[in-house]
Structure 1
Amino acid sequence: MTRLRVRLLTAAVVLLFGLLIIWLAGQLQPYEDVVEHGPAPQARSNDYLAAELFLRDLGLRVTHHEGVAGLESLSASGQTLLLLGDRRNMTPGQTDRVLDWAAAGGHLVIVAERLWDEKTGKSGDLLLDQLNLQQYSTRDLDNDTQVPQPSAAEQHPQLTKLYLENESAPAYLAFDTDFHLYDADNRAHAWANSAGATHMLQLQHGEGLVTALTDSWIWQNRNIDQYDHAWLLWYLTQDSEVTLVHRSEHDSLLAQLRRHFPELLTALGLLMLFALWHAGQRFGPQLSPANPARRQLQEHLRGSAEFLLRHEREQSLLQRLQQDIQRRASQCHPGFAQLPLSGQLTLLAQLSSLPPASIEQAMRPLPQQRLSATEFTRQVAHLQTLRNAL
């Protein structure tokens, strides 16, 4: 092949390759795809992150506070405390200090956590019990306690409505309609009702305010943008600094390890199990290794003989000795195996120079019944004497 042909072939391959690339490029179509990775780690660890960012966008100063301890050190004037965390571990002393803080001019926003127990006369929620606010399940309310039912023409009967002065339309809120707040002392000056229950009460407490809610899920990340939830948060915290307590207690070390390092806990558990198994008490004494000096040929032969005696009986052992004698006689006199039994006994007597009675007693057929130890020993001795004579 000449150089010209090589160049033409190379040019043709490059041209075809370029045309293929152009065709493939024409078949490709760009598109946009949005991949949802779910909420950010900050949102997963803080259910009220959206509410916090919303308040900061309004220009309010928002701070976190870990737990209810130390809240009495906050400045009461111009301060709103959103106590949204679990208060099951709140002590009576901490309850008194929080209420004293509110009485000094602070605005306390709390969530009712427990239902009122008529038998004990308390709910176990220390804050609500001291304020004499009672929470009931709407299923347990009688007709005299329930809020009057709305007419059929009323819009959104399942939503909670908050009416304000100089406003023509109420604010709509999606509180859980299974719970109802009751002001036993009739101190509330503002409230918000749904079709059959009250879900927000606001009352004067000393120089400050206390706002009680049946639930705070309306301000969580997935619900704050619905209805007028964000507006209510602004309305309760306007013109004040905000302290948010949404987690009053931290997860234990074990709970955090189970959440973040389950493989490590599994490995540690298996390691502890193996360690206990290794160090556990044995069910019997530990056997010391046998002395190598005891392992002699005589012991092996004796053990083998005892094994054969247990499993093959005396007849098999004696028969093997008789066969060994017949094999030795065949070596000394060819044709021994073809002789009749009487001829074999006569020939054995000639070869061994033993009396015929001894030969007959050694080579006689063996009985089927089990031999005694004395009879077995005597028969072995006769066979041994005959074999040694050959």
Structure 2
Amino acid sequence: MTRERLFLLLAALALIAGGWWLSNNTEWVEEDVPRPATGEARDNPVYAFEQILRKLGMHAEHHEQLDRMPPEGARLVLLSSDWSLVPERAAQMRAWVERGGHLVLLQGADWDDTGLADWVPVEAVDVTERAQRERAAADAAAKAKSEAKGANGKSAEKAEDAENAEDAESADDEDDEEDRDVAFSEPPVFGGIESLDLCSQFTWSRRLRVKPGHRADWTLTQASGRQGVRVAQGRGSVTVLNAGATIFQGRLPFGCDLPLLLTATVQADRGATAWIYLNEKREPLTPWLWRTGWIAIVLGLLTLAAALWRAAVRFGPRLAAPPRLRRSISEQVRGMGAYLHRHGRDALLGAQQRALEEAATRIVRGYGRLPLADRVHAIATATGVARDDLYTAMSSRFCTRAELPARLQLLETARRLLLRRR
């Protein structure tokens, strides 16, 4: 026995012991876990009812808009009153019914608060007080029966129980039958079904009745009144159920005889079309505006941007700053210093003399043909400067550093006086 084989044997024994303990301390049972709805069954609240109609050979579809009416001869089930938000929709429904359409209304969908109440020959009446009176009478009868049993004594009760055992069982069956919500159809649906067990699907505080002057083609009666009525309207019909919209919106398989009631309500027929209106669902406003008028939106945004840009605060003047006609003193000093550094005093003096000559040529008539003495005389006469000093400044080609400022000032003064005179 090697060490490796010993370890393998111990591991096998541990696994066997663990399996034995797990089998003795656990219990394996099967449990049904409902799976959530997926696909269309998750998003469509009337998916189960549509499947029933399709199994019967009908074309069933649900709608969230009523921009157009169903084809003639179709069935239209209204599960909401949102359609009344669009004007003239009630008149369109009436014309569609009179051409052969079959309209199904639910009392819980508040259709009697819309334009349909003006022409649908069915109305709901409140029976709350009558129901309370019936319940009080039933309670009083039950109390009287219990008091009568107490007066007979225990021996009489035993004898009665022994003799009428079968009667008690039949009575229990009758009580069960009364507890169930049985409705009676007139005429029978689908050829021979007269009674339907509907499991408390209707509103007990109201009952339906036909308005005077009209006759019901089909009624569903339960307890003390009618829970369903169908009345002919033109070539079509209007069916009203005293129930809420949830009667068509069961996600689980329907119980009791509810599928029979719903198929009878829509007058199920192979090849017919059934429209189920859920609510009025429209495209959001912003995507709809962009899809239908994006050109106008783009132009409006561009116009708004231009207006904001025009009215915005600027960080500078509205117009460019005009050029300055006179150089600053600092610029003049820097320029003169650079010129002297490059060309010397004589070049600066010559430049100032040429500036005076150009100004005099433009202002003094025949200046270019005059000799130097006459030129000096003409400029001195025009400006009032000293003629001898002006002659010296205009005729010299060289000067010392001390003489340069005075001669430049004299020449520039004469030039400016000539320009001012002009």
TM-score by length of 1: 0.51
Q: Would the aligned equivalents of 2:208 and 2:225 in 1 still touch at CA under 8 Å?
A: yes
Match of 1:130 among 108, 119, 126: 119
1:20 and 2:22 correspond: no
CA distance in 1 between partners of 2:219 and 2:101 (Å): 19
Task: Give the structure with the larger helix fraction.
Answer: 2
Within 5 Å, which residues of 2 pair with 1:37-52? 37-40=35-38, 42-43=40-41, 45-52=43-50
Partner Cα distance (1:115, 1:238) in 2: 28
Report SS of the residue matched to 1:170: strand
State the match for 2:209 in structure 1.
182
Residues 94 and 168 of structure 1: CA distance in aligned 2, closer, same or farther (over 3 Å):
closer
Post-superposition shift, 1:131?
1.4
1:75 to 71, 78, 91: 71
Q: Which residue of 2 aligns with 1:321?
A: none
Distance 1:38 1:224, change over 3 A: closer
> Which residue in the other structure is 1:171 paired with?
196
SS in 1 for 2:84: coil
Quickly say closer, same or farther: Cα 1:31–1:154, change in 2 above 3 A.
Answer: closer
The alignment partner of 1:171 has SS state of strand
Structure 1 residues 176 and 47: CA distance shift in structure 2, 3 A = farther
- CA shift in 2, pair 1:101/1:25, >3 Å: same
Question: Which of 220, 231, 242 lines up with 1:203 in the alignment?
Answer: 231
Are residues 1:243 and 2:275 paired? yes
Compared CA separation, residues 18 and 251, structure 1 to 2 (3 A): farther
Secondary structure of the residue aligned to 2:103 is strand
Cα distance per residue 1:277-321 (max 9 Å; x no partner): xxxxxxxxxxxxxxxxxxxxxxxxxxxxxxxxxxxxxxxxxxxxx
Letter in 2 for 1:34: D
* 1:262 counterpart residue number: none
- The residue matched to 1:209 in structure 2 has which SS? strand
Shift of 1:95: 0.7
Name the structure, 1 or 2, with higher relative contact order (CA <8 Å, separation 6+): 2
Conserved 8 A contact 1:51-1:224: no
Contact (CA 8 Å) 2:228, 2:240: kept in 1 or not? yes
Q: How does 1:351-362 map to 2 (within 5 A)?
A: none
Q: Alpha carbons of 1:80 and 1:57: their partners in 2 closer, same or farther (altered >3 Å)?
A: same
* Aligned-residue offset at 1:212: 1.0
What displacement does 1:39 show? 4.5
Q: Give, in whole Å, the separation in 2 of the partners of 1:34 and 1:168.
A: 35
1:105 aligns with 2:105: no
Structure of higher CA gyration radius:
2
TM-superposed CA distance for 1:23, in Å, is 3.2
Q: 2:226 matched to 1:230?
A: no
8 Å Cα contact 1:115-1:134 kept in structure 2: no
Instruction: Indicate if the aligned counterparts of 2:82 and 2:279 stay in contact, CA closer than 8 A.
Output: no
For structure 1, the residue ranges without an aligned partner over 5 or more in a row are 1-6, 117-122, 144-148, 254-390
Mapped pair 1:85 → 2:114: no
Residue identity opposite 1:214 in structure 2: N
Q: Using the alignment, how far apart are the partners of 1:201 and 1:251 within structure 2? A: 36
Q: Which residue in 1 is equivalent to 2:371?
A: none
User: How far apart are 1:230 and its partner, in Å?
Assistant: 0.4
User: Deviation of residue 8 (structure 1)?
Assistant: 1.1
1:209-358 mapped onto 2 (5 Å cutoff) = 209-215=237-243, 216-221=245-250, 225-235=254-264, 236-239=267-270, 240-249=272-281
Residue by residue over 1:149-204, the C-alpha shift from the partner in whole angstroms, topping out at 9 and shown as x without a partner, is 9x999845744322334637422333222221121133322111111221111011
Q: 1:154 to 1:43 in 2, by over 3 A?
A: same
1:157 and 1:195 in contact (8 A); partners too: no
CA contact (8 A) 2:75 2:101 kept: yes
Would you say the 8 A contact 1:68–1:90 is kept in 2? no
Q: 1:159 to 1:171 in 2, by over 3 A?
A: closer
Q: Is the 8 A contact 2:219 2:228 kept in 1?
A: yes
SS at match of 1:20: helix
The letter of the residue matching 2:257 is: D
Say which SS state the counterpart of residue 193 (structure 1) adopts. strand
Report whether the alignment pairs 1:63 with 2:61.
Answer: yes
Retained in 1: the 8 A contact 2:46–2:251?
no
CA contact (8 A) 1:62 1:242 kept: yes
Structure 1 equivalent of residue 183 of structure 2: 160
Q: Distance in 1 between matches of 2:72 and 2:105?
A: 16
Flag the 1:35–1:202 CA change in 2: closer, same or farther, 3 A: same
| Partner residue, 2:128 | 139
Give the Å deviation of 1:58: 2.3
Q: How many residues align?
A: 233
How much identity, in percent, do the aligned residues show?
Answer: 22
